[in-house]
Structure 1
Amino acid sequence: MQFADAVTAWSWNPLADIRQMWAFPFMVNAFRAGTIVAVLAGVIGWYMVLRRQSFAGHTLSTVAFPGAAGATLIGVGAVYGYFAFCVGAALVVAAVPRIGHEAGGEETAVTGTVQAFLLACGFLFVALYKGFLGGVNSLLFGSFLGITTTQVDVLAAVAVPVLLIVAAIGRPLLFASLDPAVAAARGVPVRPLSVVFLVLLGAATAATSQITGSLLVFALMVMPAATAQNLTARPALSIALSVTLAVLVTWTSLTIAYYSPYPIGFWVTTCAFACYLASWAVRLARGSLGRARWYGAGARVPLEVS
């Protein structure tokens, strides 16, 4: 069921439309859960993009699918499968050192292998419990319909400690992300930080996948963070911008999806990608303006006469 199946069309009275939308408890919970997901994805995603671990993040988000499918197969809650597979895959990827010229290629190879194997396991689990295509779509793309207060509380219980840990290790993690070799030489525990970050990434993915599905977590983690880093190089401002964009994308997508027959996933990815394209337009405009000012200043410099 889509949002539009149970509601009337957009009336062009924003206050009345918002009141109508929030009259449904499931929509209130959807905005609460979506906000928690967006904040968590905005912060974790910013470090993930900075560390060039987007492929690892994509793998952990897709691993949530076989985790939920496996949990359903053995008759336990999907949330246990989310955490077991996402955190387990994070530990496997974290076993590869990131310092050295060949570290990036080795990590990519291990990450791709884990992704391919566990996705195959996911479809095997679906076949074994004879799941329907609709169930697979829900695992991959999620749904904000029917979100309970308990689910919102679980999300908050996971998000708060994850964000506190990120705040505690933020400065050394930033140093280790920018230049791991120099950071290691300065005594920064680069290896433990990498392991801790990947476990946090896995936990964040597991927590948000139960609401957004496997694929939408990745969209919220990558595009707002990449957009923010395109617009500013100041870490604190960039992280704040990443979180702000993720929240705005989530709220906008929820509102549009409520009044349209199209799924929430389409609007999340579309809005996030539109922000990313806009950031490149701003970046190109800044570059053109900077070159114009440079040439203008150069034109005013008098020529030396020998």
Structure 2
Amino acid sequence: MNASLLSTLQTPFMVNAFIAGFLISITAGIIGYFVIARKTAFAAHALAHIGLPGATGAALLGLPVSLGLGVFALAGALTIGAMGKKASKREVATGSILAFAMGLGLFFARMSSAANAQMQSILFGSILTVSPSQLLVIAAVDVVLLVVLPIIYRPLLFSTVDENVAQAKGIPIQAMNMIFMAMMAAVITISVQAVGTLLIFALVVTPAAAAQVFARSPLTSMLWASLICLVSLWGGLFIAAAVPVPPSFAIVTISTVIWAVSQSLVRSLRKEL
């Protein structure tokens, strides 16, 4: 490692980015497992975009972008959660809300030069600009989720695996849907800072999909997903420091390559069997 690269990696903004990557990977991997298991990948994608008008609206009003994004993402999550777990009950409504949110976000961006200037970082991420105060917010989200998840883990997992049996056992399915969607909104809000709304799959969905190849239980799947997410984030930051490429591009590329390799392994194993 040359001195110039080492010096770049040690700069405060890079250190903040590596810390943010570690914090994001913890909960992104955990939530990613449930996103795959509950077949809510489209909802995860939609929530990131539903947060767009909140982000541009916050920039228009001079408020923190992450605050506006989080409020809109949470509102969207609760709306989608109220529609139930089955895709047939929510996809059309989710798509309609998504289209309106994207249009509203563009409208707010056009109303203010400040909001318009924020569009690129909102769409594609800006992990290199994460501040110490933002790190505290990300850490707080992690703590809340890691406290809540063990409490609801068994009923959430049960309702994920077999909703009808879980309902017969008295598990509040609607409450589980709402809580899960709220948790997903929180994770997406902090993850958008790394890869933006357009590339959110790279952290919330792709690592969890790749982890399914290596894991044999929900907990190991979450651990693998978090590890893949961390490798993607830290690897992307290292590449961005070494060569002139956007960090989000490098992060997404690593995540996608790992997923592609995992799928190749699956196909190879199936052929052998």
TM range (shorter): over 0.9
**How many Å apart are 1:134 and its aligned residue?**
4.9
What is residue 138 of structure 2 aligned with on the other side?
A: 155
3-state SS of 1:145 partner = helix
1:122-180 residue CA offsets vs partner (Å, 9 max, x unmatched): 00000111457653111111112232211111110111111221222122211111110
Q: String of CA shifts for 1:48-97, please: whole Å, max 9, x gaps.
A: 11100000000111222221101111222212201210100001101112
Unmatched tracts of structure 1, length 5 or more: 1-12, 292-306
* Residue number in structure 2 paired with 1:55: 42
Alignment partners' CA distance in 2, 1:132 and 1:262: 24
2:153 maps to 1:170: yes
Structure 1 counterpart of 2:253, from 270, 276, 279: 270
Q: Which runs of 5+ in 2 are unaligned?
A: none
* Aligned pairs (5 A) from 1:202-217: 202-217=185-200
Q: 1:120 aligns with which of 94, 100, 103?
A: 103
Rounded Cα–Cα distance in structure 1 between residues aligned with 2:18 and 2:243: 17
Q: Residue in 2 aligned with 1:6? A: none
Q: 1:142 aligns with which of 114, 117, 125?
A: 125
> Which residue does 1:107 correspond to in 2?
90
2:231 maps to 1:243: no
Contact 1:70 1:122 in 2 (8 A): yes
Change (3 A) 1:60 1:213: same
1:233: how far off? 3.6
The answer to whether 1:282 aligns with 2:269 is no
Match of 2:31 in 1: 44
* TM norm structure 2: 0.94
State TM-score, norm by structure 1.
0.84
**Other-structure match for 2:62:** 75
> Residues 41 and 217 of structure 1 are in contact (CA less than 8 Å); yes or no, is this contact kept in structure 2?
no
Distance 1:202 1:107 in 2: 16
- Please report the RMSD computed on the Cα atoms of aligned residues, expressed in angstroms: 1.8
Please tell me whether Structure 1 or Structure 2 has the larger radius of gyration of its CA atoms: 1
User: What is the alpha-carbon distance in structure 2 between the residues aligned to residue 71 and residue 138 of structure 1?
Assistant: 14
Q: Equivalents in 2 of 1:277, 1:208: separation in Å? A: 22
Letter in 1 for 2:68: G
What letter corresponds to residue 231 of structure 1 in structure 2?
A: F
Q: For structure 1, which segment, 70-79 or 22-31, has the greater mean C-alpha deviation from structure 2 after superposition?
A: 70-79
Instruction: Tell me how far 1:273 sits from its aligned partner.
Output: 0.8
Question: SS at 2:19's partner residue?
Answer: helix
In structure 2, what residue type is equivalent to 1:208? S
For the Cα contact (< 8 Å) 1:223–1:276, is it kept in 2?
Answer: yes
- The separation in 1 between residues aligned to 2:115 and 2:144, in whole angstroms, is 36
Structure 2 residue 18 is matched with structure 1 residue 35: no
Identity value in percent: 32
Per the alignment, in what secondary structure is the counterpart of residue 215 of structure 1? coil
Higher percent of residues as helix? 2
